[in-house]
Amino acid sequence: MRGTMCGPVVLAALVVAALVVFAGAATQAAPPQTLEIWVHEFPPLQDALSKKWIPEFAAAHPGVRVKVTAIPFAGVVAYDAKLLSALSGGAGPDLWDMGDWHYKVFTDNKFVAPLDPTVFGYASTKEMIDAYVPGTTSIFERDGKLYGLFSEYNTLALFYNLDMFKAAGVAPLPADKPVSWRMIADIAKKLTQRDSAGKLTQIGYRFGFFANFRSPQWYAQDFYALMRQYGQPDLTVNGQPAVTTKPVTDAFQLLYDFTWTDKVYDPSFPANWFADLPQGRVAMLLAGTWFVPAMTPHNPNVRFGVAPHPVVDPENRATYQNVQWSWGWSVNANKPQASQRLAQQFLASMLGKKGETEQAVWWFKTVGYTHPKKVFYQSAGYKQELAKNPWLKAWESAFTTYKIDYVTHNFDEVGQALIRAIDRVVYDQMRPAETGRLLQAELGRLMGTK
């Protein structure tokens, strides 16, 4: 998933209505039909809906009222927990976007309705799937049907503040080859500063999780990339917990070294996901393409560079491991058929029908979201964006340079246990081998292997 807004818990309701008005005193207007949408809190997404897609849909569908509720992604009232609670009770919105990690459980529990390909201009679901880059829609597929459509398809690249690099006398990073994590730590030491009282004023590197943004997605993404670079694809092997292995221990060790040995990351450092890098408080972080439209409002003049995801050993291609994620739009299976169809019509209007590229180009250009349609990648609009923004090359090449895969555990019980294990390292200074031993025991209990 994309980064998310930090700060106080806020629920934003954005409503755009278009009501039918009939001529003649004896004719009453039909009651408006309401389409309720839930999204996680991400300002560029809310702006896209409220300023473009909802007004356009309302203008084309008189009598339809569209209501959007934005919920913080992490925190006391977290998006995922609220969504699961509502749908489990047979309620919830007509339409929502959610991370790839939920699709299996939500489809198993029949929360999600299959999409009707004809609404999107396709003759069959197979034709609709074939319109996308092979394999990208697999997370949404079940028994020949499609249960979601892309809000975002993405991977990680390294963003850094060029002015902070220049002030520290550090040369820009290469854009065509990853550097090592060791080099990142050494650079980050030059970019970490404290005031006369020893209080941190800027840090050289920030992982995607920290004290006021405890996102399971980001804990897992950061850890899985490291673990896979060290040689192990998952926390389990052949269905058994495997977290006392050298690759897992080495991944914990890197987190330990960045936090306690090199002292270039501090999870308690005051943080705002989008403002810290452009405002000079964080020098480097990993993010997706959405980071640029999210950070520039905090400093329109920010000078930034983008480099490939760091690796354990740049000379060893086996360590070229990265993660991918998808967010998808889904329709509530518990809603009436008329509501389901209206939700799909809204999706078709803002994501595009067969052969259309205008919508996908707009999302990519304005919000940094990628919809992996074949025609999108072939479009003049996509090629123009690549030419206009050379930094996108580091992101685009990641899909061929790295082995990229989804994260297996994040929001489930195994993922929650991983969060506790990482917290023991970055907050309690527990040694990697010890937190691995505790995690092994916890996973054994959870998975019934002990």
**Domain range summary for the chain, segments of one domain joined by +:** 12-155+325-396, 157-323+406-447
What integer pLDDT is reported at residue 73 of this predicted model? 85
Give average pLDDT by consecutive 10-residue segment, the chain, 450 residues: 44 40 42 91 95 96 95 82 94 96 95 98 98 95 97 97 98 97 98 95 96 92 98 95 98 98 94 94 97 96 98 98 97 97 98 98 96 97 96 93 94 95 98 98 89
Task: Provide long-range contacts, Cβ within 8 A and 24+ apart, for 312-318.
Answer: 312/180, 312/181, 312/226, 312/229, 312/230, 313/180, 314/177, 314/178, 314/179, 314/180, 318/231
Domain 12-155+325-396 -> CATH class = alpha beta
Q: What single DSSP character describes residue 230?
A: T
Residue 450 has a pLDDT of 61
What is d(CA 211, CA 227) in angstroms, rounded to the nearest whole number? 22
Query: What are residue 152's DSSP bridge partners?
Result: 327
Asked if 112 and 118 touch (Cβ cutoff 8 Å), the reply is no
The pLDDT, as a whole number, for residue 76 is 66
Residue with tokens 């180009």: 361
Res 212: pLDDT = 87
Cα–chain center distance at 186: 28
Most distant CA pair in the chain, distance:
79
pLDDT at 77: 74
The CB-based long-range contact list for 168-173 (8 Å cut-off, 24+ gap) reads: 172/305, 173/305, 173/307
Residues forming a β-bridge with 142: 145
Helices and strands (DSSP H and E) totals, the chain: 17, 17
Are the beta carbons of 156 and 286 closer than 8 angstroms?
A: yes
CATH fold, domain 157-323+406-447, is D-Maltodextrin-Binding Protein; domain 2 (3.40.190)
pTM of the model: 0.90
Reduce the DSSP state of residue 418 to 3 states and report it.
Answer: helix
